[in-house]
Chain A
Amino acid sequence: MTQTTTPSAQTAIDTLQKTLQDQLYVADRSLAISIYLALKLKRPLFLEGEAGVGKTEVAKVLASALDTELIRLQCYEGLDVNQAVYEWNYSRQLLEIRLLEASGQIDKDRAEKELFSEEFLIKRPLLQALEASGDTPPVLLIDELDRADEEFEGFLLEMLSDFQITIPELGTYKAENPPIVIITSNRTREIHDALKRRCLYYWIDYPDFQKEMQIVTSKVPGASKSLAEQVTAFVQELRGAELFKVPGVAETLDWTAALVGLDQTELDPSVIDDTLGIMLKYREDVQSVRGEQTRALLNRAMNRGTRRGGRRG
């Protein structure tokens, strides 16, 4: 078999996966490849998936793995340039005018230049990310882009294509070392294709039993092995139930931590019913699961555990 593979790429991917693992993030190899390529090609990575599957976490972990700054822009409806890029510090500008006046040295042209200088500029995340200097570029996390409106997407598209921003009063800022951009979306709406085309795309799914078990044990070290196994099996079953909002990994972790806090070493129906609210966030979902269905799901989860145990033994 001819080896067309450069061993360095394979090693790099392996190392990356290992580094993420060290940061307590369990990543599939395919995700590691996406991250590797995003770094190599210097392209934004677009992560999509249901809420609570660990999209935001990727950026955080990556920043700490690369030992660089994480700059986060949380999107919301109506997010505009003033909140995302820059804003002038108006109150300080007004104060400055009064000071200049008081000292009697007001000169229209000069005052304008002074007032609209970098001193009075409030830099928001996108500008910060372009300005950052250092050996490793910062990780720019644009979180939950689906919440922002289409106008902002248009702006972002422009910024991501040449990593520069123009402020009319000051001129153009261009990144010397473009940031590592990670965009996440919960897919409450489709992001425009034009933007996604520029990015590497990765869909993060709910983890399977093995992977989720790994996540639980590494993130909640206080949980006994049997509890972690039961919790994971139960959540896996719960995801198959007919729910309005299926619990994510974040919920699994919260729940495990809560159970550990309650000194539980085993799952039982009553404790599940009491703590369902940690996993299910809709009243209807809690109502439909509580009681009988809890017992049925738990039974299935336990059986699954023994099946697995049997196969191993």
Chain B
Amino acid sequence: MSTNQSGDTTKARPYILFSVAGTTYALPSDQVRHMEMVGQITAVPNAAPFIEGVAFSRGQVVPVINLRVRFGFERQVPDLRSRLLIVEVNSRHIGLLADSAREFVPIADDLIHPPSEAIGGLSGSYVSGVATIDERIILILNMSPLVDTTPNIAA
């Protein structure tokens, strides 16, 4: 069942990379159920500002978090590059709206460092680590605070 492929020595796990407002983020691929292009999203009145609405995905109704808004950027109209990542957290299914999502990348555990003070202060608790691959900086996301109902995690 699990797609966790950590080896005995190298401990590289597959991640899914996606970008939001120019920054590359990563989520362990075993937390991502599937990815899809952005279809109709129905707004939910009086929900938190970062909630884009609800979407119908594979027979299920999932709440959609607009990651741009969640990270404190301006809302943009989804386009052809936008992707909906359906993730599973504590048996909840949630859609994450990203500007684009590109690839699966195995990242070795020893390449991931704890977020530096600077990044930690900037992006709050939702970054669990930072990896540098081919001079690209990738922020590893911590899902739990992300899908929390707390209004402002970026502060």
Asked if A pairs with B, the answer is no
Q: Please report B residues at the A interface, Cβ cutoff 8 Å.
A: none
Q: Please report A residues at the B interface, Cβ cutoff 8 Å.
A: none
